[in-house]
Amino acid sequence: MEIKMKPIDLIKQAVKAQNNAHAKYSNFTVGCALLTKDDDVILGCNIESAAYPSTMCAERVAIYAALAKGITRFKAIAIVSPLSAKPCGPCRQIIYEYLSDIPIYVSNGKTDKYETHHISDLLPHPFG
């Protein structure tokens, strides 16, 4: 599938979502931008709760929102956090199950630098 949008433009969208994060417990804000097959962008940010396990990661907010809209095919995903964090374990599992092996751009959102990963590298020997 052709990806017309530049990685840096998808990363900028993820920064927009990061600015909406609710991270008052960890102070670690994460933003995610998911590029759909039809070139729409679905955003997610982390949302924390006083009941800590109720917290939801930015990646899954975006993926679940897309699925709820009936969107099931994707071209790329960008994830932005202060430490250029790669997705956590549960997010890797959901990425494996619901996105195909699309590029995963990871950045701190502060510079034009980013890393490109694939779920096949991040989650070898997947379950499912």
The site for ligand THU (CB under 6 A) is made up of 23, 26, 28, 30, 46, 48, 55, 57-59, 85, 87-88, 91
Smallest gap from Cβ 61 to ligand THU, in A, equals 8
Strand bridging mode 104-107 / 74-80: parallel
List the catalytic residue out of 2, 59, 97, 115.
59
Q: Which is nearer to ligand THU, 35 or 57 (CB)?
A: 57
Smallest gap from Cβ 68 to ligand THU, in A, equals 18
59 flagged as catalytic: yes
The closest alpha carbon to 19, from 101, 99, 110, 102, belongs to 110
In residues, how long is the chain?
128
The closest alpha carbon to 59, from 47, 71, 69, 72, belongs to 47
Write out the catalytic residue numbers. Answer: 59
